[in-house]
Chains A and B, each alone.
Chain A
Amino acid sequence: MKADRGQLRVDENECKGCGLCVEACPPHVIALSEGLNHHGYRTAKYAGEGCTGCGMCWMVCPEPGAVTVLHLVAATVQAGGVECTGN
C-alpha cells in the first residue's frame, strides 16, 4: 500500500467548523466531526487517508492556525523495508 503524500492536522481549539476546507479539498478527505468542541462547533476532521498535501484546505481556512498540512518526506512502503522518497 502506498503512503499518503500528505497529512492533515486540525487544531480543535481554533477551528470554527465553517466547512470551507471540506468544500475546498480536491480529494474530498475532510469532513466535520460529529461531536462539538468546547465552543460548540463541529470541527474539521481528516478522513484518515487520501490526503495529497496540496494545502488547499490551509489556504481557504480563515483561522490562522486551525489547519496544518504535512508532506511525506520519507516513506517505508511495506514491512519489507523498501525505502522510497516522496515530496
Chain B
Amino acid sequence: MPEIGNTYEVAFERPKSMYAQFDRKEDLQHTTHYCAGCGHGQVHKLLAAAIDELGIQDRTVLTSPVGCSVFAYYYFDVGNVQAAHGRAPAVATAIERSRPGATVISYQGDGDLSAIGSAEILHAANRGENITVIFVNNAIYSMTGGQMAPTTLVGQRSTTSPGGRNPATEGYPLRMSELLATLEAPVYIERVGLGDNRQIAQARRAIKRAVENTTKRLGFSMVEVLAPCPTIWKMSPVEAQRWVKDVMEKSYPLGVMRDRVKDAEPKPEPMVAPGLAEIPGLLGIEAAVPGEASRSGHRRRGKAVHLGVRVAGFGGQGVLLLGEVLAEAGLEAGLEVSWLPSYGPEMRSGTSNCHVRLASEPIDTPLVTMPEILVAMNEPSLRKFDASVKAGGWVIYNGEEFPAELMREDVHVLAREFTREAQALGDPRVANMVMLGALLELAGVVKAEAIHKALTKLVKSPKWVELDERALARGRVMAREEREQVSRGCGVMVG
C-alpha cells in the first residue's frame, strides 16, 4: 500500500551511444556476443557512458581491433571502422587527420596492441596523435582459445605455455603503459583495473578523462584496463574479477603513468583534405578522375585501341622510362593506360622490365603476359620473353643477329643495333627512344604531338628532349623501312 504513490525515474540505463538492438542474427539481437562476465562488456559500458556524458556521440569515431572486441560496431552507435589486426592506431590517425572535429577512439585488446600492433601503437603515441586508446588487457589471446600473449603473466598457463610462462624462454610480461610513458609526446596514460567496485569506478573516471583530452585536442591519451576473461581463465566471473585484483595487479601496478594534461596545449586542427575535384589541379594534370573528365572530355573517337607492350632489358638502359613515356603519351591521347614496372633490388645492371597497356576501354589488368609488341633491349630479355609474344605481333630487338632458335614464323621482327644508332645520334643512352620511335611507328596508336607532350613532362632537360625527339624520329624511319621491306616480301617476317 505505501508504495502506490511513489514516483521513480530512470537514473542509470543503457547508454545512449549503445544500440538497443544489435545488428546480429535474428535471435541474437538482444544479446551481445561476449561471454558472461566479460571485461569488454564492462569497458564498453564505461566508454559509452563517457561518450554520453561528454555529449560527443555524433562526432565520435571508434576503431575496433581484431580480437573479441572486433564486433564493437554491433554495440556502439557512433562512427565505426574495423581495422586490420594491430593497425587500429594507424587507422585512427588517418581518421583523426582527415576528419577535423572528430573524436577518435582506438579500442584494442592486448594481443592486438602489444603484439602484432606494437609498432603502430608505439609510433602513434610517439607522434602524440590526438586519439584516445582504450587498451583492454586480459593477459591472454582469448578469441583464438587462450594462447600466450606478450602480456601473459610469468607462470601463467596458456595453450602455448602449458607449463606456465617461463621468462627464460618467453620473456617477461610487456608493460605497455610504462613503455609508452617513456615517450615525450603522450599527455595521459593510466592503468586501471576491473577488480572490484572501487577499481571499476576509477576505470570509469580514467576513461572519461582520456576521451575528454581528445575532445580538447590535447594529444595522445591511453587507458590500460586490466580486464577479466572468465572463459579462457576457466573461472567464474566473480573469481575472474578477484583474480584481476589479487594476481594480475601485482604484475601490472595500477596508477597514472603520465599526466601532462594541465600543461598540454591543444593541438592545431589538421588541414582539411582537398576535395576530389581539386586533386587534378594540385597534381598539375587536367583530368585525373577516371570515368569523369577523361571519358567525357578527351574521349578518343575512332578505332578501338588495345595494345599490350612488354619492355625488357638491363637496369640503366632506360627500360622503365621507355614504358613511362609510352604510357604518358597514351594518357595525353585520351587513352586508358597502365604502366607496371618490374625489377630487382639492383640500381644498375640487374634485369628490368615493364608492362604497358594502352586501350580505348577501361583496363582490367596492368599485367601484360602476352604482349602485342616486345621491346627486348638485350639478348637475355629476348630469350625470356620471345615465346610470350602474341601471334601477329612484333619483336623489336636491340641487335642485328637475331638468334635462329628464337625465330618464330608467326611474329614480325625488327632487329637492329639500336644502341649504335643512338651513338650516331650523339649518345648511346637514347637507344631506348630510338626503339620507342620504332614501336610507335609499328603500333600507330599515338600521334607525335602526344609523344612530344609526354616527353617534355617526363624529361626535364631541354637538351635531352631535343636528343630524344631526334632519336624517336630515327626509330620511326627505321621501322618504316622495315615495314616496306616486309610488304615487298623480303623482310624477316615469314608468317
Contact = CB atoms under 8 A, between A and B. Distances in A.
Nearest to A8: B12
Interface in A19-49: 19-20, 23-24, 26, 39, 41
A6 B18 CA distance: 24
Interface stretch (B37-45, B116-124, B360-368, B378-386): B37-45
A63 B38 CA distance: 9
Describe A's contact surface by its main secondary structure: loop
Contacts of B241: 20, 23
Contacts of A58: 12-13, 45
Interface stretch (B1-9, B53-61, B262-270): B1-9
A73 B237 contact: no
Given A3-B3, A59-B201, A78-B2, A23 B238 contact: yes
A59 B237 contact: no
Nearest to B227: A62
Interface stretch (B26-34, B272-280, B337-345, B428-436): B26-34
B46 interface: yes
A53 B10 CA distance: 10
Contact of B8 (A62, A71, A76): A71
Interface string B433-461: 00000000000000000000000000000
Q: Contact size class for A?
A: 35 or more
B236 A19 contact: yes
B36 interface: yes
B412 interface: no
Nearest to A26: B197
B6 A75 contact: yes
B85 to A, nearest CB: 24
A77 to B, nearest CB: 6
Given A3-B3, A59-B45, A64-B44, A16 B12 contact: no
Contact of A64 (B7, B35, B45): B45
Contacts of A68: 10, 12-14
Nearest to A2: B2
B228 to A, nearest CB: 9
Contacts of B45: 58-59, 61-62, 64
A78 B46 CA distance: 39
Nearest to A60: B200
Contacts, number: 124
A70 B11 contact: yes
A75 B7 contact: yes
B32 A64 contact: yes
Contacts of A72: 6-8
Contacts of B36: 16-18, 41, 62
A64 B38 CA distance: 12
Given A3-B3, A20-B241, A74-B7, A62 B236 contact: no
Interface string B45-83: 110100000000000000000000000000100000000
Nearest to B242: A23
A1 B6 CA distance: 12
A19 B197 contact: no
A69 B9 CA distance: 9
A22 B18 CA distance: 24
B186 interface: no
Contacts of B230: 18
Interface string B197-209: 1001100100000
Contacts of A13: 30-31
Contact of B11 (A6, A11, A14, A76): A6
A59 B37 contact: no
A23 B228 CA distance: 15
A67 to B, nearest CB: 7
Closest 9 pairs between A and B when the two form their complex, measured CB to CB: A62-B41, A76-B5, A65-B14, A18-B37, A16-B36, A58-B12, A70-B8, A18-B36, A18-B237
18 contacts: A14-B32, A19-B236, A19-B238, A23-B241, A24-B197, A58-B45, A59-B45, A60-B42, A62-B39, A62-B40, A62-B42, A62-B44, A64-B41, A68-B13, A69-B12, A71-B8, A74-B6, A77-B2
Interface of B: 1-15, 18-20, 30-32, 34-42, 44-46, 48, 75, 197, 200-201, 204, 230, 236-238, 241
Given A65-B20, A70-B11, 16 more contacts: A13-B31, A16-B37, A20-B37, A26-B197, A58-B12, A62-B38, A62-B41, A62-B44, A62-B45, A64-B41, A68-B13, A68-B14, A73-B9, A74-B6, A77-B2, A81-B5
